Amino acid sequence: MKVILIEDELPARAKLEEMLIAIGGSIEIIGKLGSVEETLHWLQNNPEPDLGFVDIQLSDDHSFEIFKRHPIKFPIIFTTAFDKYLLTSFEFNSIDYLLKPITEDRLRRSLEKVKSLHDHFVQGNLLKILNHIKSPVTNRVLGKKGAEFVALDVNDIAYFFTEHKIVFAKDFKERQLIVDKTISELESMLDSNSFFRLNRKYLSSLSAIEKFRSENGKIKVQLKPDSKEDVFVSKETAPKFRNWIG
């Protein structure tokens, strides 16, 4: 397995390399990089590795900037001293997230995960695998408020909505948390008897539908807690909505 290490702290990089060598398994370290710019140059001039270990906070920027500027196909294991980047890491081919200090046992388990998924990566099924990895159980959704992560029971969620390309969950206590899923991903995860896609921006639970009425073929829905804007179900979706709500 060809591996690159993207880490600007030399002692941390040396320790990671030492553990990888100790674990063995035909691991070959083909690149040791320390900054966003150095990594971008390396990626543009070398074949992709099989795996990358990537520190999030590099000397010149967050490593997320690398993958925004240079899309990749190989899996990533992020390493960091902070857990606040957990949700963001899943946007960039992340299959694991190691908190420093990294132990050999935790590193070994990450490599076992990579090995078990290797055939799928080779066959080009990366997005399918990542979606599977990222999907929580259907009765829980991970939300974020400030620096805290909160496991939300779906029965406590009134609705999901998007604002400025960010997805939020709003619960019946009127808490509003960021969710690292698209509305479509959430729709596929949740029980269709309990949640309905009202439109491209709103996915509502049955319990949050306070009342509704027809307006020129569309359906205007009143949610609880109140939404910031009027919510309409389109003419095309209206029959499906009426059937769903019974």
Are 5 and 33 in contact by the 8 Å Cβ rule? The answer is yes
Chain segment 102-133, per-residue pLDDT in tens: 999 999 988 888 877 765 544 445 444 444 44
CA distances from 46 to 41, 43, 122, 162 (A): 9, 5, 18, 39
Q: Supply the mean pLDDT for the chain.
A: 85
pTM of the shown model? 0.49
Which domains are assigned to the chain? 2-134 (3.40.50.2300), 142-245 (2.40.50.1020)
Chain segment 21-77, per-residue pLDDT in tens: 998 778 999 999 999 999 999 999 999 999 999 998 898 888 888 988 888 888 899
Distance between CA atoms of residues 6 and 54, nearest Å: 5
* Strands 157-163 and 166-171, bridge-based pairing: antiparallel
- Complete DSSP assignment for 198-236: -SSSEEEEGGGEEEEEEETTEEEEEESSPPSS-EEE-TT
